[in-house]
Amino acid sequence: MTDNIIRLDYQQYRAVRRLVHDCCNYQDGNCLLLDDGEECVCPQSISYSLNCRWFRAAVLPLDESLCAALLHRGRAWPCAECGTMFVPRSNRGKYCDECAAIVRRRKKAASERERRRRGHLEA
């Protein structure tokens, strides 16, 4: 049972603390799901582990890099361009979604410049 609990380091803990405020069940430091007449402190805001299933499913995907680093530990890779963790869609994936578009444009522009340069040299 304790094997599937994900432990956080300090930077991850601070990032999770910032994300807790985006949870729809978080209100003034309390968890609405655990409220049974008495106010209950949100366990995700005070713990160094991911123990709230709602937080994992609904809130954590808002930060893609943190989600990849925590939930997809064996399958996540650092982006070759920016270094953030991401889950590649294939075994050839090198870049996160944001960087993939930038790198694709950069390579296409370089290819076009080379093609134009070759065209001027042959004429």
Res. 72: pLDDT tops 80: no
Res. 2: pLDDT tops 50: no
Joined together, the tokens standing for residue 14 give 């601070």
Binned at pLDDT 50, 70 and 90, residue 109 comes out as very high
Determine the pLDDT at residue 35. 78
Q: Where do the structural domains in the chain lie, given as residue ranges?
A: 1-63, 72-123
* DSSP code string of 84-115: -EE--SSTT--S-HHHHHHHHHHHHHHHHHHH
The candidate with the shortest Cα–Cα distance to 95, out of 112, 113, 107, 109, is: 107
Instruction: Give CA–CA dist 67/16, Å, rounded.
Output: 10
19-61: per-residue pLDDT in tens?
A: 888 888 888 888 888 877 788 888 888 888 888 888 888 888 8
